[in-house]
Amino acid sequence: MKLRIFLIPLMLAGCVTTPIVSDFNGSSVKIVESFGGAKPSEATIAEAKRICAKVGKTAEGASARSLPNYDTEYLFLCL
């Protein structure tokens, strides 16, 4: 019983994903999120803002597309 209680949080921790920057060219940034939906998560938006801020710009969401393996790629424009 104790082993089951210990393993449940470990299994749930595997479900949490970190947004990954797949492309950045100074004018736009693409971020991939596992199991993403139509709207990016707060972590993905924060990462886009952080990357665009490196060149003194702000991030604005432009589009999203589904990738294989249930990943979603979000395009943000750096304006």
Position 28 in a domain: yes
For 30-41, the pLDDT digits (tens) are 999 998 888 999
Could you tell me what percent of the chain has a pLDDT over 90?
68
For the stretch 47-76, what's the b/e string if a residue is b when 16 or more beta carbons lie within 10 angstroms of its beta carbon?
bbbebbeeeebebeeeebeeeeeebbbbbb
For 11-24, the pLDDT digits (tens) are 545 555 789 999 99
Position 55 in a domain: yes
By the 8 A CB rule, do 47 and 73 touch? no
- The helix (run of H) or strand (run of E) holding residue 69 is none
Position 54 in a domain: yes
Looking at the 3D structure of the chain, how many domains does it have?
Answer: 1
